[in-house]
Amino acid sequence: MSVRELVVLGTASQVPTRTRAHNGYLLRFDGVGVVVDPGEGTQRQLTLAGARIGSVRHVLITHAHGDHCLGLPGVLQRLSLEGVAGPVHVRFPAAATPYIERLRDATLYHDHTEVVLHPDGPGVVWEGPGPFRIRAVELSHGPAEHPVPTLGWRLEEPDGRRLDRARLQRAGVPPRARSELVASGHVTVDGRRVELREVSDPRPGQVVAVVMDTRDSDGAREAAAGADLLVIEATFLEADRSLAEEVGHLTAAQAAAIGRDVGARRVVLTHFSQRYSDTAGHLAEARAAAPDLDVVVAADLDRIPFPPRVGRG
């Protein structure tokens, strides 16, 4: 059975706290593991979460601040220790290249995993094997005079078709021919051509978006648009909005409003400043900004499932 879920590894921002590890996430998408923004301590958090690292094939880094990448050496070394051959693709903004290259070879170890570094810019950056393609979107982060190159990430499953068992039986398509039907779009049964569209319904692909360290901008909304699962920073509360705008971050109310406006189906708030001892205020602000939105305020080691497909019975 395929598993689609977000494993929350850490929810802190710049400074980890007693209850929040540095920012970090594992997306489990039909057997493919994607680590996003491995902050310091990610390797240990994976262990505490009971998450096996052997399925990891992609590491996505939004930008080169330490709370989003200091755990990269531990993740890569753990992959080698576990005997993962790879390839494992590490993607990051092109401007972050010197920092990621240093983290790639930060210490001496037995390096057995094929790791491929990808300095990326906006656009589709992966359409290889697997259930999704990866798209990067440019975000706006940092003070206006010193912007920090940052990318939002989208995992986009292609639209497909859902076979209808009753129509398959009426058309006389045997089980052994169904793989060919899906792959080719048609199959011949007793001399008659059966088209895939005759025995199936549209199945919309699912989209997961990760939006970190950005002010409210066109880029943030493009990255989040129509996401089934949106993981988005909510570093500050509205009382500190001027500070959020100064340093290029979102408040909980802004994050929820983005999710509401772009049609996100489940919104996970995370990346909380150490100035807040709890996240009750974040939940209250988000619900006030978007009362009908499915909002989850993340805690370390949470497992949050993707919402069911639209139209699933």
Catalytic positions are 67
> Six-digit token pair at 30?
């039909």
Sign of the CA dihedral with 64 first, then 68, 73, and 78 last: negative
**Length, in residues, of the chain:** 313
CA–CA gap between residue 98 and residue 267 (Å, rounded): 33
* E strand or H helix at 22: none
Alpha helices in the chain (DSSP H): 42-48, 72-81, 97-104, 165-171, 178-184, 218-224, 241-247, 252-262, 280-289
Strand 115-120 versus strand 200-203 pairing type: unpaired
Q: Dihedral angle at the C-alpha atoms of 302, 120, 126, 66, nearest 10 degrees? A: -20
Task: Assess contact for 139 and 211: CB atoms under 8 A.
Answer: yes
Give the helix/strand (H/E) hosting 292.
Answer: none
Distance CA(5)–CA(25), nearest Å, equals 10
Residue 51, amino acid? A
- Does the bond joining 87 to the residue before it have cis omega, within 30 degrees of 0? yes
Cβ atoms of 229 and 263 closer than 8 Å: no
